Chains A and B, each alone.
Chain A
Amino acid sequence: MLAGFAVLCAISLVSQTHPIASALSLIGVMGALAVLYLQLGAEFLAAAQMIVYAGAIMVLFVFVIMLLNAGAETEGKPVSRWARFSGMFMMAAFLGIISFIIQAQLPPTGGVTFGAWVGGTAQEIGILLFTTYLLPFEVTSVLILIALVGAIVLARKEV
């Protein structure tokens, strides 16, 4: 059910003309995914998803949309029928392939029960982060720093 909700939001994201509508539907997707994470036992990540993604990134998106005063999408160049057809075909192919892989490779195991495995506690993730994956952790913090500096440099007014 939740999945259905997620898919609906995604479709609306893709097909809405106004960017704000798309942004709101993306928030909907995030929320649905967060609940799904919880179901899969990833507590920490569910919380992080809501806080970081839905809370910060989507807000950023909305800010930018408002700033740029983006309107509804105008009518673009008519796409040739050939391009449309090939696009549809590729989409279908993509989807088909991936589902096929999933169906074929995964043994029909048991499913997911809420609470069956709660491995993603903050404590455990923290332990891993600061021991085995210490280097990537530090590197990503540097990455965030770079992104921060870059964004400021790119977007400021020329003096």
Chain B
Amino acid sequence: MPPLPFPDTVPLSWYLILSAVLFCLGVAGFVYRRNVITVFMSIELMLNAVNLSFITFSYKLKHIDGHIFAFFVMVVAAAEAAVGLAIILTVFKNRHTLQIDDVNSLKW
């Protein structure tokens, strides 16, 4: 296979743009999807995008603290996913629906 025509050095800003794009896509999914599990996955996508930008910056500044922070973000995301899915399970047991539009009794 011929060598793929991509340059040796990738400009740093591309990583950041990618992070931004991923984040926005995550937001879009968060706002637009009706299935609550899909919403959760969009949240995970957002967190990943943020991780990417942390690591990019830590590369730029040659500082390892960014990695540490990304590590903690991952930990928190894991915990949040666990608890969130438990909540979804409970709501499903009560309402038998996975559409978040139907879970709207906390209105005025």
Contacts and interface: CB of A to CB of B under 8 A. Distances in A.
Interface in B1-42: 4, 6-18, 20-29, 31-35, 37-38, 40-42
Q: Is the interface of A mostly helix, strand, loop or mixed?
A: helix
Interface in A33-51: 33, 36-37, 39-42, 44-45, 48-49
Interface string A106-122: 10111111000101100
Interface in B58-76: 58-60, 62, 64-65, 67-68, 70-72, 74-76
Contacts, number: 221
Q: Is the interface of B mostly helix, strand, loop or mixed?
A: helix
17 contacts: A1-B6, A10-B22, A14-B28, A19-B41, A42-B70, A57-B78, A60-B82, A68-B88, A73-B99, A77-B101, A94-B24, A110-B9, A111-B14, A120-B55, A120-B67, A129-B71, A151-B85
Interface of B: 4, 6-18, 20-29, 31-35, 37-38, 40-42, 44-45, 48, 51-52, 55-56, 58-60, 62, 64-65, 67-68, 70-72, 74-83, 85-90, 92, 98-99, 101
